[in-house]
Amino acid sequence: MSLVELLEQLRRQHVHLYLDQGKLKYRAPKGALNESLLTSLRQHKEEIRALLSEAVDSPQIERRPQSRYEPFPLTELQHAYWVGEQGVYRQATTPYFYFEYDLPEQPLEYFAAAFEALVRRHDAFRLQVLQDARQRVLPFQGAINADLVDLRDYDHQARQEWLAYPRAIFNACFRPWTAGNLTSLKWGE
């Protein structure tokens, strides 16, 4: 059994490996480790110790809730995108995601509440990139605006025209997004 196969099997069996003063130890539910797994553990013992030692020696993330809204550095990839936005190139390279979903009809309030909970919970939805190539998390600003547009009485051409306008504006005039706007379209029967 390869090391990768062994680690995957141990994960599925809920076996937790750790180092205790440099010695490989494990915690496992009763009966999770059969003789075959124990033999494989012995065969890969040094490789596993090296992996765990490397993880222990990795820089640890320090939680600082008091600094939550203070600026911090961009990642290398974010910095590359930031450079592309500085007017160095003829065409803008601003990254963004734009999604449209075709979902079964549900009350808009349910989707808005779920989206609001997501934005409230995950700081990444509220990141702002600053002009000095740093970023900061913005505090949650409150309720999500949710609008319902009923397009059921429009013919196909009128629907496409209605959709083309916000898509074109979004692509041509991209501005930093702030979580807060949802539009729900009633499309068919």
Confidence of residue 161 (pLDDT cuts 50, 70, 90): confident
Confidence of residue 19 (pLDDT cuts 50, 70, 90): confident
The reported pLDDT for the residue numbered 153 is 84
Token couple for 47? 């490789």
pLDDT, tens digit, for every residue of 79-133? 888 888 777 777 766 666 666 666 677 777 787 888 888 888 999 888 888 889 9
The CATH classification number of 65-186 equals 3.30.559.10
Contact 53, 46 (CB under 8 A): no
Between 175 and 131, the more confident residue is 131
Please calculate the CA angle 56-58-61 and round it to the nearest 5 degrees. Answer: 100
Token couple for 64? 């600082």
Token couple for 5? 């196969």
Domain definitions of the chain by residue range: 3-57, 65-186
Q: pTM for this one?
A: 0.54
